[in-house]
Amino acid sequence: MPIVAVQSRRLYREVADQLRRLIRIGEYPTGARLPAERDLANQLRISRPTLREALIALEVEGLVNIRVGSGIYVTDPAVMPPKVSHIDGIEGPFELLRAREFIEGAIAAEAALKATTSDIQRLDQVLQCMRDLPKDRDAMIAVDRQFHTTIAAMLGNAVLERFVTELFDQRINPYFERLSTYFEDDSTWKSAAIEHRAIRDAIAAADSNGAKAAMERHLGASQERFSTNFEEVVSAEEART
């Protein structure tokens, strides 16, 4: 028997594997509603964010259909063709946000000690751009990226700047994009803009601890915004009716 390379498995991938097996053996047939998120997380003894990552992965694969305000239903893959065929090689959205919270908090703390007047001016230009932009998701993501990379650039370390850029760009994957469609809207971008302003003000005041805390609050709030029960979410279309 040949030796097989050992692979580190993310917990959400193991959860997705288990749910996928249950669907394929008919435990949850096509059209069936999965247990509520809270109940499913309790049964699996995992956190809600881990379950959320697994469910999003299965939806991207075309195995389930998430209906906001209702629940998660097993679907016919022929009806929902997959965007990706498997979940290996893609980091979970919450994993990315937790990593960014840890790393960018430290970077913001250091930026508060190193920022020059021109650095703050560049940050102000980004914030102004954020206020002036039409509420277009792609445009908002681009200016959000610019805000975070501008702070990283204040340290004068090309490796850290590239690392923050690459970490941010990992959100442009099928899982993160799918999750965002449920939870990002004008109100969440408005909240993010307020949080960005708090980070800017702490850096401008050379408040290292305050900048670190503000960055961590911002990225922690992003995780909270993505953690609302699917059963409790009201779609933008439903909110207008």
CA-to-CA distance for 23 and 142, rounded, in angstroms? 38
CA-to-CA distance for 40 and 51, rounded, in angstroms? 8
Q: Are residues 128 and 54 in the same domain?
A: no
Q: Which residue has the tokens 């669907």?
A: 23
- Structurally, the chain folds into a number of domains equal to 2
Helical residues (DSSP H) of the chain, grouped into ranges: 11-24, 37-44, 48-61, 93-114, 117-132, 137-153, 158-169, 174-183, 186-204, 208-225, 236-240
pLDDT at position 172 is 78
Q: Are residues 123 and 215 in the same domain?
A: yes
CA-to-CA distance for 177 and 181, rounded, in angstroms? 6
Q: Are residues 107 and 66 in the same domain?
A: no
DSSP-assigned beta bridge partners for residue 74: 64
For 18-51, how does the pLDDT look when each residue is reduced to its tens digit (9 = 90+)?
A: 999 999 898 999 999 999 888 988 988 888 888 8
pLDDT at position 235 is 42
Question: What pLDDT band is residue 237 in, cutting at 50, 70 and 90?
Answer: very low
Against a cut of 0.85, is the pTM above it? Answer: no
Structure tokens at 194: 């307020």
Question: What pLDDT band is residue 200 in, cutting at 50, 70 and 90?
Answer: very high
Q: Are residues 187 and 109 in the same domain?
A: yes
From residue 132, alpha-carbon distances to 139, 140, 171, 184, 234 in Å are 11, 10, 23, 18, 27
pLDDT at position 77 is 64
Domain range holding 172? 93-228
235 within domain boundaries: no
Q: Are residues 146 and 211 in the same domain?
A: yes
- Decide if pLDDT at 159 tops 70: yes
